[in-house]
Structure 1
Amino acid sequence: MKIAGNAIRPGMVLNYKDKLCVVVKTEHRTPGNLRAFNQVEMQDIVSGTKYNERFSASEMVERVRLEQKSYQYLYDEGEALVFMDDETYDQINIPKSLVGDQIDFLQPNMTVEIESHEGRPIGVSLPETVTMAIAETEPTVKGQTASGSYKPALLENGARVMVPPYLSEGERIVVRIADREYVERAKD
């Protein structure tokens, strides 16, 4: 689908110079007596190469539609991860590199969204939050309440997060995966 250069937004996937690129950042600029343009920062999905390009409103670019489907994570198999389609029960292997640094939050039976283009997986999206137990942290000091200060904690999966001082080892907390931040105590 062709779109105008000024309609490009972050998160879109474009076919740029025969490469699939995800738009990271856009900025609409109108310099003095020149025509307005859209400054676009994008990254090649396969190689990771970054591009910084200008698109005018009259330029047309190819926007790529991705198929999204729910899969269930089964297990780790060396350099690949095995997922199962929720509807057909077909299993697929996906390289660990597609999950990136969020891989340590992947848990068995977790439902994820896998984006693919023409049948080839190009991205894995984990849920926004995950519930984990605190494996190790400094002891709780009596009388401490929720304040602006946080202390480091090691979770059961090996990830480090900052938690309020009143939490102790063994407690379950909700963590936002994208920025590895404490959200709240788990309600389970």
Structure 2
Amino acid sequence: MPEQLWLPGLEAPPPPTDGLFFAVYPDANTAAGMAKFAQQLCADTRERSGVRGKAIAANHLHVTLRHLGNFAGGLPADVVEAAKRAAVAVSMAPFTVEFDAVASFAKRPRLGPAVLVGEHGVRGLQALHDALEASLREDGIEPDARFTPHVTLAYGMPWIERRPAEPACWNVREFALMHSLLGRTKHIVLARWPLVG
């Protein structure tokens, strides 16, 4: 078998190990209700189509406000510090969020996430995202306007038509900067900021 050629500068980059993102988490009771709904959704899907989706555990259910990147070998200190500076500058009053529909982020015919979404009840999340985005931009972090407020309920699910669901509603009083240990299903809170606008 011939040896593989090695060319300087063309080696594959190391795989990412650490993710950084801002998030909003539901209270424990709301998270438990959403987790129960996710398990039922997976059970119904398995019964109907034989597809075994993977429901998200209650303590991992969240809204990602802004993903800041995946990195290899740890989080860059300068990005973490810039994110913290931007978060401190956000001034906003607490608000209520409500998700009232289940939808799919899957693309036919592939499997993908099943998510909770909303219309009027997610405007506060949009406003918080926009305020955070503006603050990040001022701190030199590349803008990313793509934001669809949602809570991922399960992975590996077939495409489904958007349909009403029992509302999941909670008061958002803070947001957090999270360190995700990729592939290990572990999230570490780096900092939290109360909403006191």
TM class by shorter-chain length?
under 0.3
Structure with bigger strand share is 1
**Highest CA radius of gyration, 1 or 2?**
1
Higher relative contact order (CA 8 A, sep 6+): 2
Structure with bigger helix share is 2
